[in-house]
Chains A and B, each alone.
Chain A
Amino acid sequence: MLKYIIKRIVNYAVMLFVAVSMTYFLASAFMDPRSNYMSRHPQPPVESVNRSLDNANINDQTPIIIRYLHWLKNVVTKWDWGLAPDQSPVGPAVASRISASVQLVTIATVLSILIGVSIGVYTAIRQYKWQDRALNVVATFFLVIPPAVLGLFVAFGAIALNNAAGARIFFVTGLHSYEGSNPWLWFVDFLQHIVLPTIVITIPGAVSYHLTQRTYLLDTMNADYVRTARAKGLTLNQAIRKHALRTSLIPTTVNIAFSIASVFTGAVITETVFAINGLGRYFVTTINNNDINGATAIAAFGGVCTLAGALLADILSAWLDPRIRLS
């Protein structure tokens, strides 16, 4: 087992290195930090522009390979991810936003797993009954709604609700606004902020867990060993709970492990709609500011999340599923 895990980690580390380097080259090819300075009024002299660009190691007049080696050396030896075009360091900027993203995504992920898996089990047991059909239509509907539309409509509804109630029940921007020291008030304030973005992230997640869990359970419900269990006298509910459900949860667990990657990608739109200063919003900023180092740092973070999820999925499926042999 240990040997297997180590092998995987080494493989993933090499993958991460190649992928992040590729992102660095792509970012350098497609982003033009010089234009940030050239569009200023009055236009700064070329020498000072070059000095700033050189200082951040993003000068397009330096050969790309030299810039890359310089960047790589700083990352490996000093854990220094470089500077943005406005000379602010990238590493601390990413680190400070991780907490907001984690707060936002953790609650939503847990909720969507709980809701999605229970609806999936509920509908699988009632396959083709009206409950199954109704929930399936609802799921298809939410499956195709683009995230931006969902986010904006939730915000719109909340504002309408606030106006109707004449009070601020929900906040549609940020994650915190309370500045006192009373923990209870802090918590209420946090809830008022987190509810809406959580809804927006939870719905698509829950829908996909619902549909996949339903399929997995239906696949196992007709398996021979479940029929055997029924033949030996278990009630349908017992057979499903003790035999079918347990097997069908294995692929779901693997999916959950993979969803770690969504700490980064899942929330870009939501963070933009609700003005939450997380990684997703920072990513949009870096792209708009031609911030090569910032975009690469985010890509690296996203890559680490993906691979951590993949590694967890490898380990979990090997551990849970006796059919998988490592040797």
Chain B
Amino acid sequence: MTDNTNDTEHKHSAAQDASQAATQTTASQTKREFHRTGRMTLYVRRFFRRPSAVAGLVLLLILIFFALFGSKIGKWDYEELDFMSLGTPPSADHWLGTTAGGSDLYAMIVRGLGRSLSIGILSSLATTAIAAILGTAIAFFEGWFEKVGMWLLDMLLVVPSFLLIAMIVRSSAGTSGWLWLTFGLTAFGWIGYARVLRTLTMSLRELDYVHAAKFMGVNPFRIIVRHLVPNLGSVLIINTVLGVVGAVGSETSLSFLGLGIKAPDTSLGTLLNEGQSVILTAPWVLIFPSIVLILLTFSVQMIGDGLRDAIDPYSRSGGKAE
């Protein structure tokens, strides 16, 4: 319910921002002969007209680059403990300081960023896939199937999912812990989203070609995958991107509570947990992971808003004619 309304809300401001920023693109195209602008080209152009979206994309790419190759630049490994410098402030040797246990904070952040990113992206993709198929299926089959399906979805929403995820993830430890966490976030993250998609599908299932396919005897699963899910494409893309913000948030919350990623592995939430206990004596352990985390969520949110604006059929990000 709120998802829909948020869409429109961002749409308005987004379109305005972008139309102001768009000035320079059209001049070069008027000289060429008329040709049809492809849909993807249109999306890409609209997206890049929006400065905040481009900034978000650049920021995210830098963060991904650091997560992948940051360990090559650093002097220390994240598992390596430097007993000569326990809880030292940032210096030439340890760029971002060390934790109380003597781990190099830079190496820890690079590692933690990679973990948080992969958990966020993987679980967001999986959540969208499950929600898309089940949400549309519930709407498509109608009748008692829909009734039972909706009842089950509502039932699964009764118990706070945070609790159930914590229960599942808690028993897993070691290096496979992050996979369990991804699994937990996916297993209980798709439900509310499937409800939203079901509402959207209710109008799609009345489309003529869906009826036609149905009466031709096309396999229902095929109709769902070929006709219904692609119709939700834009919604799915946007929600996958914004879902990363939510997943990273849940991941850091769980790890912060000590229920998610545990040592020897590390994530940004685990680092926050470590920073909490030394908030007065070694504030850098708290501050640097927090900054990275905010940069991560903020950049993804900017990209999501930009995409929403670009893909929206009523987009006002049209550029200006001269």
**Interface, chain A (partner B; CB < 8 A):** 15-16, 18-20, 22-23, 26-27, 30-32, 127-128, 132-133, 136, 140-141, 143-149, 152-153, 155-156, 159, 208, 211-212, 214-216, 218-219, 251, 255, 261, 264-265, 268-269, 272-273, 283-284, 287-288, 295, 298-299, 302-303, 306-307
- Inter-chain contact B272/A23, CB cutoff 8 Å: no
Pick the interface stretch among B93-101, B130-138, B291-299. Answer: B291-299
Q: Among B156, B170, B258, point to the contact of A30 (Cβ < 8 A).
A: B170
- Inter-chain contact B163/A302, CB cutoff 8 Å: yes
CB-CB < 8 A to B305: which residues of A?
A: 140
The docked-state distance in angstroms from the alpha carbon of A159 to that of B9 is 37
Known: A31-B170, A307-B158. A26 touches B164 (CB 8 A): yes
- Inter-chain contact B160/A19, CB cutoff 8 Å: no
- Inter-chain contact A146/B2, CB cutoff 8 Å: no
Known: A146-B253, A152-B286, A218-B12. A15 touches B158 (CB 8 A): yes
18 A–B contacts, CB within 8 A, in A order:
A19-B158, A20-B159, A144-B245, A144-B298, A146-B297, A149-B293, A208-B2, A212-B9, A218-B8, A219-B5, A251-B1, A255-B2, A265-B163, A287-B259, A295-B163, A299-B164, A303-B159, A303-B160
Chain B positions 279 through 322: 1 when the CB is less than 8 Å from some CB of chain A, otherwise 0 = 11001001000100110011011000100000000000000000
Q: Among B166, B283, B301, point to the contact of A156 (Cβ < 8 A).
A: B283
* Chain A CB within 10 Å, residue with most, of B2, B151, B155, B171: B155
- Inter-chain contact B253/A147, CB cutoff 8 Å: yes
How far does the Cβ of A68 sit from chain B's closest Cβ, in whole Å? 16
- Inter-chain contact A265/B294, CB cutoff 8 Å: no
- Inter-chain contact B156/A302, CB cutoff 8 Å: no
- Interface SS, B side: helix
- Inter-chain contact A215/B162, CB cutoff 8 Å: no
The docked-state distance in angstroms from the alpha carbon of A143 to that of B298 is 9
User: Any chain A CB within 8 A of the CB of B154?
Assistant: yes
User: Any chain A CB within 8 A of the CB of B252?
Assistant: yes
The docked-state distance in angstroms from the alpha carbon of A30 to that of B172 is 9
Q: Among A218, A251, A261, point to the contact of B160 (Cβ < 8 A).
A: A261
- Inter-chain contact B159/A128, CB cutoff 8 Å: no
How far does the Cβ of B296 sit from chain A's closest Cβ, in whole Å? 9
- Inter-chain contact B286/A287, CB cutoff 8 Å: no
How far does the Cβ of B102 sit from chain A's closest Cβ, in whole Å? 22
* Chain B CB within 10 Å, residue with most, of A27, A153, A287, A306: A287
A141 — nearest CB in chain B belongs to which residue? B298
The docked-state distance in angstroms from the alpha carbon of A133 to that of B15 is 12
How far does the Cβ of B210 sit from chain A's closest Cβ, in whole Å? 28
The docked-state distance in angstroms from the alpha carbon of A20 to that of B160 is 11
- Inter-chain contact A32/B151, CB cutoff 8 Å: no
User: Any chain A CB within 8 A of the CB of B24?
Assistant: no
The docked-state distance in angstroms from the alpha carbon of A152 to that of B277 is 10
Known: A141-B298, A144-B301, A303-B159. A212 touches B5 (CB 8 A): yes
- Inter-chain contact A287/B294, CB cutoff 8 Å: no
Chain B positions 255 through 272: 1 when the CB is less than 8 Å from some CB of chain A, otherwise 0 = 011110000000001001
CB-CB < 8 A to B293: which residues of A?
A: 146, 149
Known: A26-B164, A218-B12, A255-B2. A156 touches B159 (CB 8 A): no
Chain B positions 119 through 152: 1 when the CB is less than 8 Å from some CB of chain A, otherwise 0 = 0000000000000000000000000000000010
B268 — nearest CB in chain A belongs to which residue? A146
* Chain B CB within 10 Å, residue with most, of A145, A264, A268: A268
A304 — nearest CB in chain B belongs to which residue? B158
The docked-state distance in angstroms from the alpha carbon of A284 to that of B248 is 19
The docked-state distance in angstroms from the alpha carbon of A148 to that of B162 is 15
How far does the Cβ of B196 sit from chain A's closest Cβ, in whole Å? 15
Known: A23-B159, A32-B171, A287-B166. A148 touches B272 (CB 8 A): yes
B170 — nearest CB in chain A belongs to which residue? A287
Q: Among B5, B12, B170, point to the contact of A216 (Cβ < 8 A).
A: B5
CB-CB < 8 A to B9: which residues of A?
A: 211-212, 214-215, 218
CB-CB < 8 A to A307: which residues of B?
A: 158
User: Any chain A CB within 8 A of the CB of B6?
Assistant: yes
- Inter-chain contact A306/B158, CB cutoff 8 Å: yes
- Inter-chain contact B6/A215, CB cutoff 8 Å: yes
User: Any chain A CB within 8 A of the CB of B231?
Assistant: no
User: Any chain A CB within 8 A of the CB of B51?
Assistant: no
- Inter-chain contact A299/B257, CB cutoff 8 Å: no
How far does the Cβ of A71 sit from chain B's closest Cβ, in whole Å? 16
User: Any chain A CB within 8 A of the CB of B13?
Assistant: yes
Known: A136-B13, A145-B297. A152 touches B5 (CB 8 A): no
The docked-state distance in angstroms from the alpha carbon of A140 to that of B9 is 12
The docked-state distance in angstroms from the alpha carbon of A251 to that of B280 is 44
CB-CB < 8 A to A284: which residues of B?
A: 166, 257-259
CB-CB < 8 A to B279: which residues of A?
A: 152, 155-156, 159
The docked-state distance in angstroms from the alpha carbon of A255 to that of B4 is 14
- Inter-chain contact A146/B156, CB cutoff 8 Å: no
A143 — nearest CB in chain B belongs to which residue? B301
10 smallest beta-carbon distances between A and B, as pairs? A215-B9, A144-B297, A19-B158, A148-B256, A215-B5, A303-B158, A265-B160, A302-B160, A149-B290, A299-B159
Known: A23-B164, A26-B168. A18 touches B155 (CB 8 A): yes
User: Any chain A CB within 8 A of the CB of B87?
Assistant: no
- Inter-chain contact A15/B151, CB cutoff 8 Å: yes
How far does the Cβ of A161 sit from chain B's closest Cβ, in whole Å? 13
CB-CB < 8 A to A261: which residues of B?
A: 160
User: Any chain A CB within 8 A of the CB of B89?
Assistant: no
The docked-state distance in angstroms from the alpha carbon of A145 to that of B2 is 19
B294 — nearest CB in chain A belongs to which residue? A145
- Inter-chain contact B249/A140, CB cutoff 8 Å: no
